[in-house]
Amino acid sequence: MSRVISHVVIGISGGIAAYKVCEVVSSLAKRGIEVRVILTEAASAFVTPLTFATLSRHPAYTDADFWQPTNGRPLHIELAEWADLILLAPVTANTLAKLAYGMADNLLLNTVIAADCPVLFAPAMNTTMWLQPTVQENWRKLLAFPRYGAIAPTAGILACDAVGTGRMAEPETILEYIESWLWTNGRQDLKGKTVLVNAGGTREFIDPVRFIGNPSTGKQGIAIAKAAIHRGAKLILVKAGSLEIQSDLQLQTISVDSAREMQEAMQIAMPIADIAIAAAAIGDVRTTWQSDRKLPKSELPLHWQMEYIPDIIANLAQQKQSAQILVGFAAQTGSESEIIAAALDKLQRKGLDAIAANAVNHAETGFGTDTNQAIFLHKDGKQQQTPLCSKLELAHRLFDFLAS
């Protein structure tokens, strides 16, 4: 999303979830994305056009503007050709049905049908309405078209006090989808593929309350998982430590603590993976014994007998088939030449297809940051350096690198 100034049209239909879109519009405008907002007549009853005009720094459009020419051309054609991406949020059952059957009786629907850019849908409605067979059939019909993408509703307490699926995705999730789809232009190049990712930091417990660990937060691994999902992949995530996962992520999750548990989970999942990306920070050593009770301070040894932890990714490389792709991460310190040298050594010594090396001793690329910068290296000698960017963008750059 950082490559060029992008144009996003946001269409809002009549539902209480329209208030969530205010944050989406505001966030995009602050990031330098140009936004145009279209409201249906029903949507204007929930949030006023003036609110969205203020947040987007541009007049918001309603059906009253439908036949007002822009530069001598119909407004819906101008908006359709201007947009790099269209987001519909919230999508009501009414709007969903009209789009599924190609109906166009307002400015919003005409703009979507006149456009050829990617379109993202974020439905929101009562659970019983969402689960109606006719609504589900319309949903499936829409998503059969390659340029249409789903930001599926989540479960929770709805505005009508019902509990179930139907809540529109949260603004953070919608913004991530927008970032991904602007980057890929809606390309679903991982559809039909299974991607295996590990994330977080392993912990080797000494007793029930003490462990040897590392400061990995798992943010980069989660970003890779999200990028894979946004590109159409089936995702298996092996998460280590206390890493929390968004409830709206459509993935299979396996939770582990220790390196031994991580190794077992990865070895079980590896045979069905087309791409395996090891982004977790795995410990290197552990104590040779662990206590099953909390040790008093006076019983803690000052000198521990340690043992090396088996190299998980090297073992996966021994297990992988020729059609599979195995990617490692190298969290390094030092100069660029030192980082590249260490990463190349790991790439060759461990038998990987590619590796991403990043410096963790910089304020904007260390553990827990929202940004990252890396050097990708492939076993065929190709190298690519990324600029400082969001971890989600870096994940997309990695998938692009692997595809190239």
Q: Which residues are annotated as a binding site for CTP?
A: 284, 310-313, 329, 346, 350
- CA gap 233, 191 in Å, rounded: 5
- CA gap 323, 346 in Å, rounded: 21
Q: What are phi and psi of 9, to 5 degrees?
A: -100, 130
Query: Which residues make up each annotated binding site?
Result: 284, 310-313, 329, 346, 350
Q: What are phi and psi of 389, to 5 degrees?
A: -155, 175
Helices (H), 272-381: 312-319, 336-350
Closest CA to 266 of 276, 257, 252: 276
Closest CA to 19 of 62, 48, 56: 48
Instruction: Please compute, for residue 184, the number of CA atoms within 13 A of its CA located in the half-sphere on the CB side.
Output: 33
Q: What totals of helices (H) and strands (E) does the chain contain, helices first?
A: 13, 21
Please state whether beta strands 163-167 and 154-157 pair in parallel, antiparallel, or not at all (unpaired): antiparallel
Closest CA to 6 of 77, 67, 97, 86: 86
Q: Do 325 and 276 meet the contact criterion of CB atoms below 8 Å apart?
A: yes
Q: How far is CA 251 from CA 131, 188, 230, 396, 400, in A?
A: 21, 16, 11, 18, 21
Q: What are phi and psi of 107, to 5 degrees?
A: -60, -40
Cis peptide before 123 (omega within 30 of 0): no
Neighbours of 103 (CB within 10 A): 13
- CA gap 279, 289 in Å, rounded: 27
User: Residue 330 pairs with which residues in a beta bridge?
Assistant: 357
Neighbours of 285 (CB within 10 A): 13
- CA gap 231, 11 in Å, rounded: 23
Whether residue 160 lies in the annotated active site: yes
- Enzyme catalytic residues: 160
